[in-house]
Amino acid sequence: RKEVEQDPGPFNVPEGATVAFNCTYSNSASQSFFWYRQDCRKEPKLLMSVYSSGNEDGRFTAQLNRASQYISLLIRDSKLSDSATYLCVVRGRAGGTSYGKLTFGQGTILTVHP
Amino acid sequence: DGGITQSPKYLFRKEGQNVTLSCEQNLNHDAMYWYRQDPGQGLRLIYYSQIVNDFQKGDIAEGYSVSREKKESFPLTVTSAQKNPTAFYLCASSAGQGFGGYTFGSGTRLTVV
């Protein structure tokens, strides 16, 4: 089983649609959770951190369920500019000699069309 | 502005040749990382360094080498022992152990010719 698993998609949605991405992780000791966005042939950029209570940033809402080891990202009112690959990222517990590495899912491709 | 600079943006390597990818950061971050990304795949960790003069192997270190002589710099050498080096290489940094994510450079696209 992969440490972080995502549905690779692709998701093709019209402008204005609501789309949800899901992600599961295998290490119950994971400490921090993120969604990154990666545009074609570019570097990943942090979209938002994910907190246990859930958090929202404009049109984007992230949820974390530690019991189920499940993370989600909801995008409302999709824009053409939202087209990208969305990476689910999990950070392990840091401490001692462990630096708490980031583990990346393979990404979910989103295309928003007119 | 603070950030991470990778160079070159594109690099072509002949069979049997070693090449070095540059990564410099002015964020005053302690930790630096090298990842490899292949088409349609996630990022895989090659090497990481938490502090100057110390570095550790990641998940796919074979055929690669690194050095960390300065806090700001973490160059990656792709040696001739790396049998399939064509990929997108990403350097990242973070403030160290903690809860945060990483900041990435813009990447180097390496092609074997």
Low-confidence ranges of chain A (pLDDT < 50): none
Q: What is the rounded average pLDDT of the residues B3-21?
A: 93
User: What is the spatial distance between Cα A21 and Cα A83, in angstroms, rounded to a whole number?
Assistant: 13
A–B interface: beta-carbon pairs under 8 A: 55
Question: Tokens representing B88?
Answer: 């997108």
> Which residue spans within chain B are E strands per DSSP?
4-7, 10-13, 19-25, 31-37, 43-51, 54-57, 64-66, 76-78, 87-94, 103-104, 108-112
In B, which residues are within 8 Å of A48 by CB distance? Answer: none
Instruction: With H, G, I as helix, E, B as strand and everything else as coil, classify residue A60.
Output: strand
Please give the Cα distance from A93 to A81 (Å, whole number): 34
On chain B, the residues whose CB falls within 8 A of the CB of A102 are 33, 101-102
Distance of alpha carbon A112 from alpha carbon A100, whole angstroms: 34
Q: What is the pLDDT of residue B41?
A: 79
Task: Flag whether residue B55 sits within 8 Å of chain A, measured between CB atoms.
Answer: no
Q: Residue range B54-69: average pLDDT?
A: 95
